[in-house]
Structure 1
Amino acid sequence: MPDKPAIGPSTKLCMSLAGRPGKFGSRFHNRLYELTGLDYIYKAFTTKDLPAAIGGIRALGIRGCAISMPFKEAVIPLLDHIEGSAAAIDSVNTIVNDDGWLTGYNTDYSAVLDLLDHAEIAPSTPFLLAGSGGMAKAVTAALRNRGHRSGVIIARNAATGQALADLYGFDWARSSQDLTAPLIINATPVGMAGGAEAETLAFPAMAIEAAETVFDVVALPVETPLMRAAAAAGRKRISGADVAVLQALEQFALYTGVHPSEEQVKDAAIFARDA
């Protein structure tokens, strides 16, 4: 393992902004900095003043920033440029600072695409997707662009749920009660550690039993109530921890220009999950 330089004036800072900061990103990125010997450090933050926080990234030369709920859409007007899929879905989860020029990316989208492909989910597979925020947009866009044409967006917020469904040509429902599909996906904070619904199932037991594949975007804990129920039912599972690793790895490369080895990524993922 190469020696990581001691923190000093030349150390580059990367960060995250989330409504409820977690440990996964900090541990994953900092472990990779250690394994690759890079002079970087990563710290998680939250804020009640998003414009000031983004101004601080620009003014202080912070190299990169991961963006989580509830800031993925609100951050867009504060940036100088939006790349590719982030522009297409109006959702940013990554900011790269090039000498004061802030560019927004969405690495959630590509991570979801990779995982659906790896799981060999047929594009003809109907789905239920819970959520209508930034992560739900990334998942819905990935599904649509894979060729999925039959799906229902489940969202208690009628305005955002109907808008997301209309944008991609899917149906909307306020509740998943009595609904089933071969693929069910949770893109809400339900089941997230430390949240008000940490022990709540994102879908009714009937929907889990009827599904072939269960996908939960919540990264911590790895074994959410939905993932535990899917395991008990013997269903194929895609976890939020898988999403977190792939999207964070793409962020790491955007920030540093370095592509770690497979062994280094595995080490960092285990380190992050053991928090």
Structure 2
Amino acid sequence: MQDDPRFTISRDTRLCMSLAGRPGNAGTRLHNHLYRQLGLDCVYKAFTTTDLPAAIGGMRALGIRGCGVSMPFKEACIPLLDELTPSAARLQSVNTIVNDDGRLVAYNTDYIAVAALLKAHGVAPGTPFVLRGSGGMARAVLAALVDHGLHQGLVVARNPQAGAALAAQHGLGWQPDVPAAAPGALLVNVTPLGMAGAPEAATQAFPDALVGAASCVFDVVALPPDTPLVQAARRLGRPVISGDEVIVLQAVEQFALYTGVRPTLAQVAAAAAHARAA
């Protein structure tokens, strides 16, 4: 395989990257596997940074084709970019940057992925929900929930300014702590609770009492895919939408923006399996 010219990095190879506070390997493995399947002269590498302006400037200066953006950079990168497409402008949150000959254009493919998963998992319009979180990803998820027809919701966030503002934007309630009861609700975690490497890695975002009465549990945390919340939902027999599913779908949208190529479902499935095998 090393002698195959498709897999040789040269001066013509296009570099794509990601920026995250805690970079993982899933996106890197998925993108690079698709490049190999499709014979594209591209390579993908994950980074973190303590100097976001310099990192974004380097992307522009070096001609890096695309950049996936994760917490905590989704909002902070906005002033450094040239154009926000409608999805990013509406949400004021960016998860994808495309470099068009030095012009950095921002997208939000998280919204697209979440909207597709709500439909695929049969979440019924009108389902009440409790969403925990108030950051950039929470904005994307909440917009997808509301656009899917879910208008009876509660935003739970420790930050009173961000939480109340996000809830008010959609005519919803806000409170700092999870409710005592929410029968039949869709529970959505969009915080680092349960994330590998975070101080709250072993913390369950919602207690068993809420999980057992939920109609569905959606944990946006992708690393690990089997978070304490996901484990609790499966133990209690509740349907689950996982962050692993989100990261795959949003990555495919990114892939298409970077390369102009949309892989088949079979190719995506193979790449996702490869990414999970790490």
TM-score (norm 1): 0.97
The 1:3–1:235 alpha-carbon spacing in structure 2 relative to 1, beyond 3 Å, is: farther
Q: What's 2:8 paired with?
A: 6
Q: What's 2:193 paired with?
A: 190
CA distance in 1, matches of 2:133, 2:70: 14
CA distance in 2, matches of 1:99, 1:147: 39
Question: Partner letter of residue 50 of structure 1?
Answer: L
Structure 1: 5+ residue runs without aligned partners?
A: none
Q: What's 2:257 paired with?
A: 254
Structure 1 contact 252–258 (Cα < 8 Å) conserved: yes
Aligned length: 275
Q: What's 2:227 paired with?
A: 224
Question: Partner letter of residue 140 of structure 2?
Answer: A
Cα shift at 1:177? 4.2
Q: What's 2:267 paired with?
A: 264
Post-superposition Cα deviations, 1:158-191, rounded to whole Å, max 9, x if no partner, equal 1111111011111101010414242000011111
Alignment of 1:45-84 (within 5 A): 45-84=47-86
Alignment of 1:155 with 2:157, yes or no, is: yes
CA distance in 1, matches of 2:244, 2:103: 31
Post-superposition Cα deviations, 1:46-81, rounded to whole Å, max 9, x if no partner, equal 111111111000000000000000010111111110
Post-superposition Cα deviations, 1:224-255, rounded to whole Å, max 9, x if no partner, equal 11111000111111000000000000000000
Alignment of 1:43 with 2:45, yes or no, is: yes
Q: What's 1:127 paired with?
A: 129
Percent of pairs with identical residues: 59
SS at match of 1:4: helix
Alignment of 1:134-149 (within 5 A): 134-149=136-151
Q: Could you tell me which of 213, 217, 233 is aligned with 1:214?
A: 217
Cα shift at 1:146? 1.7
Question: Partner letter of residue 206 of structure 1?
Answer: A
Q: What's 2:96 paired with?
A: 94
Structure 1 contact 4–36 (Cα < 8 Å) conserved: no
Q: What's 1:242 paired with?
A: 245
CA distance in 2, matches of 1:260, 1:111: 15
Question: Partner letter of residue 28 of structure 1?
Answer: L
CA distance in 2, matches of 1:145, 1:56: 36
CA distance in 2, matches of 1:239, 1:58: 33
Cα shift at 1:29? 0.4
Cα shift at 1:5? 3.9
Q: Which runs of 4+ in 1 moved over 3 A?
A: none
Deviates more, 1:63-72 or 1:214-223: 214-223
Question: Partner letter of residue 217 of structure 2?
Answer: V
SS at match of 2:165: helix
CA distance in 1, matches of 2:257, 2:232: 36
Q: What's 1:117 paired with?
A: 119
Q: Could you tell me which of 1, 18, 24 is aligned with 1:22?
A: 24
Deviates more, 1:98-107 or 1:3-12: 3-12
Q: Could you tell me which of 103, 106, 116 is aligned with 1:104?
A: 106
CA distance in 2, matches of 1:31, 1:266: 11
